[in-house]
Structure 1
């Protein structure tokens, strides 16, 4: 009772809100292969929250390495 279900697969607007990015930017990054996406049916696209978290961590690690160089 009172438990929230954690949603793992996000729509582009939800993922955009999660990352503070426009949904079109997410589609662009997915097409480039920079962010993983999952196609559901012919038109549905979802973004895995855990994959998005990993992408953020990779970006942060890359920026830290660049600053150290």
Structure 2
């Protein structure tokens, strides 16, 4: 069966779907899972992700990152 282009995306995502969504390799996603750094739940032996929770998690991480950046002045030299 072909996927419908007008269909509403599922609120539950699989590991490959989240890896594509975050644009990371699946092994990176599994590291985040093992470290407890990403919200996840299991159904049987499979990991699943709530789409809205992942969006909130990304927004929270973005806010935390932006809070750590200097407000003004030159950006730090990262090549040391």
Q: TM-score range by the shorter chain?
A: 0.7 to 0.9
Partner of 1:7 in structure 2?
10
1:10-21 matches, within 5 Å, as 10-21=13-24
Long gaps (5+) in structure 2 = 72-80
Task: State the superposition RMSD in angstroms.
Answer: 1.8
Q: CA deviation at 1:3?
A: 5.1
Partner of 1:29 in structure 2?
32
Deviating runs (4+, > 2 A) in structure 1? none
TM-score for both structures, normalised by structure 1:
0.81
Q: How many residues align?
A: 67
Q: What's the CA shift string for 1:24-44, capped at 9, x where partnerless?
A: 211211121111111111x21
TM-score for both structures, normalised by structure 2:
0.72
